[in-house]
Amino acid sequence: MSQLAPALDLARINTELGRDAQALVRWAVGLNQPTIVTTNFRPFEAVILHLVAQAQPGVPVVWMDNGYNTEATYQFADAVTKQLNLNLKIYLPRRSRAHREAVEGATPALDDPRHAAFTEEVKLEPFARALRETAPKVWFTALRATDTAVRAQMDPVSINPDGLIKVAPLLHWSSKDLYEYCEQHGLPNNFDYVDPTKGEDNRECGLHIAH
């Protein structure tokens, strides 16, 4: 996907900038490549959105709205989008929640064989569609090392097999760091958040394994 990716000295970039979120964002924006930032409007998502929007106003903000979000999450999404003047791009599953539940019933449990297909339908397929339509070379994500065992092994900057440069400026931030950033910049927050594809806080949803 990118002729730029092979030329990057990832070891040097991660060593020099990996724990300086603002500097890492400026570096990535300075690549002058098509860029997106993904969000799910979970707690502290305003931090990545503020960091990236300050450095690159108008950057496409991709949200895979699975249709199962809480009222507070939808309200938070509207509030932070308005406050930061985000260029929000919403990607919905091919079927509505009402359609899916009418045919297949409630959300399948984590140990249900149908759960993988559910995750594919409400999260992975919409994200694949978003990647096709936005065609980014750089992807900002708010993932953190404390989220899951998989993420604990990641570097702040990595290159996916398809050449997409994935940048995680907040990888080494604590919840305290995120809270203080929100307070400092007057950013809204949301703690009433549920991800039906994960079920448990420390479980991968598949997005960062597939991409």
Does the annotation mark 205 as catalytic?
yes
d(CA 153, CA 120): 24
Nearest by Cα to 92 from 108, 60, 68: 68
d(CA 210, CA 80): 28
d(CA 49, CA 141): 9
Identify the DSSP state of 20. Answer: -
Beta bridge partners of 167: 140, 157
Looking at 21, 205, 207, 208, which residue is catalytic?
205
Runs of H (alpha helix) within the chain: 10-17, 21-29, 45-55, 71-84, 97-104, 115-119, 125-134, 149-152, 175-185, 207-210
d(CA 175, CA 105): 36
**Phi, psi at residue 61, to the nearest 5°?**
-105, 110
Residues acting as catalytic residues: 205
